[in-house]
Structure 1
Amino acid sequence: MAGKNDESYDARHLSVLSGLEAVRKRPGMYIGSTDSRGLMHCLWEIIDNSVDEALGGYGDSIEIVLEADGSVAVTDSGRGIPVDVEPKTGLSGVEVVMTKLHAGGKFGGGSYAASGGLHGVGASVVNALSARLDVEVTRGGKVHRMSFRRGEPGRFDDSAGTGPHSPFTPFTEPTAPEVVGKAKRGLTGTRVQYWADEQIFLPEAQFSYTDLVDRARQTAFLVPGLGLTIRDRRGVARDEAGEPIPERTEEFRYAGGISEFVDHLAVDPQITDVWRLAGEGTFTETVPVLGADGRMVSEDVERRVGVDIALRWGTGYETKVRSFVNIIATPKGGTHVTGFEQSLLRTLRKAVEANARKLKAGKDKVEKDDVLSGLTAVVTVRLAEPQFEGQTKEVLGTAAVRQIVAKTVDRELTALLESTQRPVKGQAAQLLEKVVSEMKARISARTHRENQRRKTALESSSLPAKLYDCRVSEPESTELFIVEGDSAMGTAKAARDSEYQALLPIRGKILNVQKASVADMLANAECAALTQVIGAGSGRSFDLESVRYGKVIIMTDADVDGAHIRTLLLTLFFRYMRPLVEAGRVFAAVPPLHRVEVVNRGKPNDVTYTYTEAELTALLKKLTKQKKTYREPQRYKGLGEMDADQLAETTMDPGMRTLRRVTMADAERAEQTFALLMGSEVAPRKEFLINGAAELDVERIDA
């Protein structure tokens, strides 16, 4: 048996490792990095092979298991990797796939018309970077097994337990996979289990359960009918009591296609239904082919490209475009996304120009951001042997795809925009109105931003008259307090430090921007004043560097109306000034509810502020127990009931106050919550209120 540090290489050893040694020396060239991202990329390679089988119509289930020993197992119900001898190499199909770079069924176009596997290096790269990899193939009524250590085939002695540290004996000659059992007739599939090599990957590299769930859900949308099951047996998740969860499971299977995917991604109220744009085209590609004499010769090959796009527009301004090539995500886009966006702009710009008088579009030109505003789309293309920019498959590089996608979008979208069918015609009209509205809002916001940069002392008169600005001009050290009502404003003026604290009063409840359009928001006096004072524009044109204040603090009364106003303001910030929230520069002031004055004989009385009813009850109980005398607690119904010293001490003085930072820890969930509570859809909100009524703590109302 060859020892771990044995340097005696025979010809068999050299022939196997000649290609894989390069992978181990420079893993970043193949998987991007050796941290958690690279670890997950290896897993994607194995999963993609199983998905390719399902895409080809072989198998309808994949199971991914994260084991407690650090390994991961992927099992599918495909045809199973061939176990017979491959004539050119004299090796079994399993060994060819697992040890030879650029070898397998994805070359030559014989087995896969369109696959997700990149350059045919996926499985062999994972094998090279694994301390141990086991392959089990169910095929022909038998279960075949073969093991590898860092890419080298051999046999592990698992008598003392299965793992990467079991004694290993490398094969000295080509050896077929071992038959380890029988299988039911017609049952086929492949199971790959591997342990990532600790010599390659960083100690902190971990499999991400969340990323795995997202990828599995995404794949289930893209391959209708394919079932994906994920099991996490690592025990890293905790329940509410803090106890480890032995196993957590997620299962996904969708009968629909990318139309369902778009519905899942979109959260804002729709303007159009989900539209499908499908088509195909061909192009000629020159590829090197191994000739009969063993030389590489160039050959022209005709490639067929299938295009399938699902898209819909909503009332929001966020854009969500997910792109895929043969169901492999391309997060950084590529030629297919470029063709999609260019054609989308060209087609809608043409439609707006044709209806300019009706839409009152003027002479301004529609830009890409106007078209993409509120768009949710899934762009998929399928073709054999796609050219990616690097092994990580994040960017599609096949140039001819751009024109094919563009032609498909132009033809299909034009047909929808010119449709005479009543529902489609109405949606097309609404879409064009939205695009023009976004164009006007962009121009208006840009003008706003350009005109409302921080002003010098001589220019300050252009800001709203009701703003009480501060004297310091550096945004980092300044604070803007948005104050509820005129009554509190008088106290706040006396309580503030005018050197760095500015005040802007809000009268009543501002516009609910979750239901309103961009134009309505800009036309609303309170929203326009707030946008003008902050000075960074709104929506897509919001410029964080132009914000005039370091902190924006919402200061409302501690009652239901105050909470409502705070929610309306947060909705405005969330929808139209989101970078401000993401940067952690939006805060909510926490004014006290009660003031308790303890009477002291012969010295000044002590004053304590409490912020909840429970806190007040506990304080009074404590004072009674200590036999201390206190005056009747003062209940603050609003900020205006405090005097300037009290407001400064409790709510405005940085050395004494409490601020609650508004964060964006989960933007997707926050967006859904805002849409539920503040949106125009009444039924989901009613259901939420009814279902949550039983859990409501009545004591917290108006407290």
Structure 2
Amino acid sequence: MLGIIGGDIVTEENTRYDASHIQVLEAREVFRKRPGMYLGSTGERGLRHMVFEIADRAVNEVLVGRATSVDITLTPDGGVRVADDGPGVPIDEREGADGPGLEALLTHMQAGVGTGGRYDVTLGFCGVGPAVVNALSRRMTAEVRREGVRWIQEYARGVATTPLTEVGPATGSGSTFDFWPDADIFGAMEPSFEGLEERFRELAFLNQGLDISLTDLRRPDESRSVRLRFPGGTRDFVDFLDGHTAASAPMDTIALEREDSRMAGVMDVAFRWCSCPDERVQSFANSWPTDSGTHVLGFRDGLATAATAYARQHGLLTPTDPDIAADRISEGLTAVVSVKLDRPEFGGATHGVLNNLDVRDCVGQAVQEHLGRWLEEDPERSSAVIGHLALGARTD
């Protein structure tokens, strides 16, 4: 049987598709063939995600209490070092209660690293694990300090070049990964210190137990280092977002943290109004930045309902005046809205929109109740804030 397509003779033999046509690639080959698919780009953004993929495991070690800190260093020779003081990556699969063995961790794609639940943080673009970093690095060195023994293994472009070797006794415990991005893929680009600092700062604000140090030694005459640790959590985050405008705020930061079984998770919200007209609202779901979603809608619902009720009760709005709308409530508002859910539901591959329906009602009710109590307890400041919002609603 044959036919003609575009002038070419097509036979049954050359159109047949069977198992012999399927190309099976190892993880390293997949990563090197389509690096942008797993890092978002092969530019500076992709380099930052290389750091995040390696740091992901260390950050979660701190959050579950097995480690106390994470240290990231940009080295003078163009490499990156990520270290933690946890128990150390398991050496082989027989120790798998703590996770995959070292070589499996660095060579196998970790489908859905972590549980995805409220206690798990994902930093990387796709969360495929350290294997993508190993595959896209011209060299990687892994050091594990575990149960009193120090182990080292070397890799090149995802392939082990030395066996896992015991090199002597260990002082303390933990894991250290050094990697040098492959110039064949990334050229001469370097990860941005500012971009790394921004994301790690977010994580430290959203997870009060985190202690992250970021050091840049790439240029000895311009070395810099920051320690990111914020016991005040989202309250500190709001202060940071306000910056120099904080002094003009007519109110202190209002913060609430509440667990709600209806949404199978916890909410952590902090906000205040300033005298400036700008809005600064940032939202997160399971520590991942979101553009919008049911948590943000619920937050705005709660603010508008509480503010309108207070304004009507205290004569700041007449019976014929409209309610204070959600867009009006945002004037001068600085806020951080964070939820951590057992089963987050996102719209789109980039997780930019949270879709869990129960979250809107839960966050809205909690914010309405919390703000309502604050307004009654501090009438002087309440009148200043709500009076301004009510005046805007009457003149719309």
Range into which the TM-score falls when normalised by the shorter chain: 0.7 to 0.9
Preserved contact between residue 356 and residue 362 of structure 1 (Cα < 8 Å): no
Preserved contact between residue 142 and residue 178 of structure 2 (Cα < 8 Å): yes
SS in 1 for 2:231: coil
Q: Which of these residues, 196, 199, 203, is aligned with residue 215 of structure 1?
A: 199
SS in 2 for 1:318: coil
Q: Which of these residues, 423, 428, 436, is aligned with residue 382 of structure 2?
A: 428
1:115 aligns with 2:121: yes
Q: Which structure exhibits the higher relative contact order, with contacts defined as CA atoms closer than 8 Å and separated by 6 or more residues? A: 2
Q: Which of these residues, 178, 185, 206, is aligned with residue 200 of structure 1?
A: 185
State the 1:208 CA deviation.
0.9
Q: C-alpha offsets along residues 496-518 of structure 1, whole Å, 9 cap, x if unaligned?
A: xxxxxxxxxxxxxxxxxxxxxxx
SS in 1 for 2:41: coil
State the 1:67 CA deviation.
1.0
Q: Which of these residues, 78, 84, 88, is aligned with residue 76 of structure 1?
A: 84
| CA pair 412-193 structure 1, distance change in 2 beyond 3 A | same
Preserved contact between residue 279 and residue 408 of structure 1 (Cα < 8 Å): no
SS in 2 for 1:373: coil
Q: Which of these residues, 163, 176, 179, is aligned with residue 166 of structure 2?
A: 179
For 2:224 and 2:391, locate their aligned partners in 1 and report how far apart those are by CA, in whole Å. 47
State the 1:313 CA deviation.
1.2
The match for 2:34 is 26
Q: Aligned runs of 1:548-567 on 2, under 5 Å?
A: none
- Amino acid corresponding to residue 340 of structure 2 in structure 1: R
Q: Aligned runs of 1:442-453 on 2, under 5 Å?
A: 443=396
For 2:296 and 2:40, locate their aligned partners in 1 and report how far apart those are by CA, in whole Å. 22
State the 1:427 CA deviation.
3.3
The match for 1:363 is 321
- Amino acid corresponding to residue 49 of structure 1 in structure 2: R
The match for 1:613 is none
For 2:189 and 2:351, locate their aligned partners in 1 and report how far apart those are by CA, in whole Å. 21
Q: How many residues align?
A: 368
Q: Which has the larger radius of gyration?
A: 1
Q: C-alpha offsets along residues 147-174 of structure 1, whole Å, 9 cap, x if unaligned?
A: 332222332xxxxxxxxxxxxxxxxxxx
1:417 aligns with 2:372: yes
State the 1:308 CA deviation.
0.8
Preserved contact between residue 280 and residue 408 of structure 1 (Cα < 8 Å): no
Q: Which of these residues, 256, 260, 266, is aligned with residue 306 of structure 1?
A: 266
- Normalised by the length of structure 1, the TM-score is 0.48
Preserved contact between residue 295 and residue 363 of structure 2 (Cα < 8 Å): no
State the 1:355 CA deviation.
3.7
State the 1:87 CA deviation.
8.8
Preserved contact between residue 74 and residue 192 of structure 1 (Cα < 8 Å): yes
SS in 1 for 2:205: helix
| CA pair 23-350 structure 1, distance change in 2 beyond 3 A | farther
The match for 2:254 is 275
Preserved contact between residue 234 and residue 247 of structure 1 (Cα < 8 Å): yes
1:139 aligns with 2:146: yes
SS in 2 for 1:245: helix
Q: C-alpha offsets along residues 45-79 of structure 1, whole Å, 9 cap, x if unaligned?
A: 22232221111122222211111111111111123
Write 1 or 2 for the structure with the bigger share of strand.
2
For 1:108 and 1:221, locate their aligned partners in 2 and report how far apart those are by CA, in whole Å. 20
The match for 1:260 is 236
The match for 1:148 is 155
5+ residue gaps, structure 1, are 1-13, 156-174, 236-243, 284-302, 444-703
Preserved contact between residue 101 and residue 120 of structure 1 (Cα < 8 Å): no
Q: Aligned runs of 1:300-699 on 2, under 5 Å?
A: 304-328=264-288, 330-352=289-311, 354-355=312-313, 357-360=315-318, 362-384=320-342, 386-388=344-346, 393=350, 395-397=352-354, 399-400=355-356, 402-418=357-373, 422-423=377-378, 425-440=379-394, 443=396
Q: C-alpha offsets along residues 68-119 of structure 1, whole Å, 9 cap, x if unaligned?
A: 111111111123222232599xx9611222222235861497xx84333566
The match for 2:211 is 227
For 2:343 and 2:155, locate their aligned partners in 1 and report how far apart those are by CA, in whole Å. 28
Q: C-alpha offsets along residues 497-543 of structure 1, whole Å, 9 cap, x if unaligned?
A: xxxxxxxxxxxxxxxxxxxxxxxxxxxxxxxxxxxxxxxxxxxxxxx
Preserved contact between residue 116 and residue 325 of structure 1 (Cα < 8 Å): no
| CA pair 390-412 structure 1, distance change in 2 beyond 3 A | closer
Preserved contact between residue 141 and residue 152 of structure 2 (Cα < 8 Å): yes
Preserved contact between residue 373 and residue 438 of structure 1 (Cα < 8 Å): no
**Greater mean alpha carbon deviation, residues 141-150 or residues 61-70:** 141-150
SS in 2 for 1:359: coil
Preserved contact between residue 95 and residue 101 of structure 2 (Cα < 8 Å): no
1:130 aligns with 2:126: no
Q: Which of these residues, 43, 52, 57, is aligned with residue 35 of structure 1?
A: 43
| CA pair 180-316 structure 1, distance change in 2 beyond 3 A | same
| CA pair 28-385 structure 1, distance change in 2 beyond 3 A | farther
State the 1:228 CA deviation.
2.2
SS in 2 for 1:364: coil
SS in 1 for 2:130: helix
Preserved contact between residue 42 and residue 122 of structure 1 (Cα < 8 Å): no
Preserved contact between residue 311 and residue 377 of structure 1 (Cα < 8 Å): yes
For 2:43 and 2:202, locate their aligned partners in 1 and report how far apart those are by CA, in whole Å. 23
Q: Matched residues, percent identical?
A: 32
For 2:160 and 2:345, locate their aligned partners in 1 and report how far apart those are by CA, in whole Å. 31
For 1:390 and 1:139, locate their aligned partners in 2 and report how far apart those are by CA, in whole Å. 40
- Amino acid corresponding to residue 281 of structure 1 in structure 2: D
For 1:264 and 1:405, locate their aligned partners in 2 and report how far apart those are by CA, in whole Å. 26
For 2:203 and 2:44, locate their aligned partners in 1 and report how far apart those are by CA, in whole Å. 21
RMSD between superposed Cα atoms in Å? 3.2
The match for 1:9 is none
